[in-house]
Structure 1
Amino acid sequence: MGDRAGHTPITAVQHAFRLMEAVAAHAGGAPANELARGAGLPPDTALEVLRALTRDGYLRRLDDGSFVLGDVPHGDHAAQGLAGLARPALAALRDDLSAAAYLTFYEEGEIRIAEIVDGPQTPRVDLWVGFQDAGHATALGKCVLREMDEEARGEYLSRHTLADLTPRTITHREELIRQLESLPAPVMMDREEYDLGTVCIAVPVYRGGTLGSLGVSFRADRMYRTSQVRAHLLESADRVTRDLTFGS
Structure 2
Amino acid sequence: MREPRAEPPNLVQSVSRALRILEAVGREPTGLSVKQIASRCDMSATSAYHLVRTLHYEGYLTRLADGAYTTGLEVADRFRELVHAFRGPSAVGDVLRRAAWESGYSHFLGSFVDKRIVITAVAEGRSSPYVEDLVPGFDDGAHATALGKSLLNTLNPVQRRRYLELSGLRRFTRNTLVSVQTLEADLARGERLGMQVEIAQYRPDLACGSVLIRTHRDENQRFVVACATPAGDLQKKATLVRTRLQQTALHLREALAQTEAPAPMTF
Q: TM-score range by the shorter chain?
A: 0.5 to 0.7
1:201 correspondence with 2:209:
yes
Q: 1:71 to 1:247 in 2, by over 3 A?
A: farther
**1:143·1:203 contact (CA, 8 Å) conserved in 2?**
yes
Partner of 1:240: 252
Check conservation: 1:207, 1:241, Cα contact below 8 A: no
The answer to whether the 8 A contact 1:207-1:244 is kept is no
Say if 2:109 is the partner of 1:103: yes
Compute the displacement of 1:245 (Å).
Answer: 2.1
By how many angstroms is 1:112 displaced? Answer: 0.6
Please report the TM-score for the alignment, with normalisation by the length of structure 2.
0.61
Residues in 1 aligned to 2:226 and 2:110: alpha-carbon distance in whole angstroms? 9
Change (3 A) 1:227 1:144: same
Aligned-pair Cα RMSD in Å: 3.2
| C-alpha distance in 2 between matches for 1:68 and 1:214 | 27
1:80/1:92 CA distance change after superposition, 3 Å: closer
Q: Name the SS for the 1:104 alignment partner.
A: strand
Give the drift of 1:70.
7.1
- Which one of 204, 214, 226 corresponds to residue 225 of structure 2? 214
- The 1-side partners of 2:145 and 2:251 are apart by 22
Matches of 1:139 and 1:236, distance apart in 2: 16
Displacement of 1:69 after TM fit? 6.3
CA contact (8 A) 2:105 2:126 kept: no
For 1:207 and 1:149, the matched residues in 2 are separated by: 13
Q: 1:168 to 1:101 in 2, by over 3 A?
A: same
SS across alignment from 1:147: coil
Q: Do the aligned partners of 1:94 and 1:122 also contact (CA within 8 Å) in 2?
A: no
Alpha-carbon distance between aligned partners in 1 of 2:139 and 2:80, rounded to the nearest angstrom: 21
1:81 positional shift = 2.9
Which residue is equivalent to 1:41? none
Match of 2:72 in 1: none
Higher Rg: 2
Task: Kindly tell me the number of residue pairs found equivalent between the two proteins.
Answer: 188
Mapped partners of 2:155, 2:241: distance in 1: 24
Give, in whole Å, the separation in 2 of the partners of 1:182 and 1:240.
24
Q: What TM-score, normalized by structure 1, do the two folds share?
A: 0.65
Tell me which amino acid in the other structure corresponds to 1:98.
Answer: G
State how far apart, in whole Å, the 2-side matches of 1:119 and 1:222 are: 14
Residue by residue over 1:67-97, the C-alpha shift from the partner in whole angstroms, topping out at 9 and shown as x without a partner, is 55675116x83x5434x43111111111121
**What is the aligned partner in structure 2 of residue 20 from structure 1?**
none
Q: How many Å separate the matches in 2 of 1:160 and 1:215?
A: 21
Residues in 1 aligned to 2:121 and 2:102: alpha-carbon distance in whole angstroms:
18
1:175-212: per-residue Cα shift (whole Å, max 9, x none)?
A: 11122123315311001000001110110123864212
Q: Distance in 1 between matches of 2:258 and 2:206?
A: 34
Alignment-derived partner of residue 126 in structure 1: 132
Give aligned-pair identity as a percent: 20
The answer to whether the 8 A contact 2:119-2:134 is kept is no
Q: Report the equivalent of 1:72.
A: 81
Cα distance in structure 2, aligned partners of 1:97 and 1:69: 32
The CA distance in 2 between the partners of 1:157 and 1:93, in whole Å, is 31
Preserved contact between residue 111 and residue 141 of structure 1 (Cα < 8 Å) = yes
Residue range with higher mean Cα deviation, 153-162 or 176-185 = 176-185
What does residue range 25-40 of structure 1 map to in structure 2 within 5 Å? none
Structure 1, unpaired ranges of 5+ = 1-26, 39-65
Deviation, structure 1 residue 217 = 0.6
Is 1:89 aligned with 2:89? no
SS of alignment partner, residue 234 of structure 1: helix
The answer for the alignment partner of 1:161 in structure 2 is 168
- Whole-angstrom distance in 1 between the partners of 2:182 and 2:247: 30
Aligned counterpart, 2:40? none
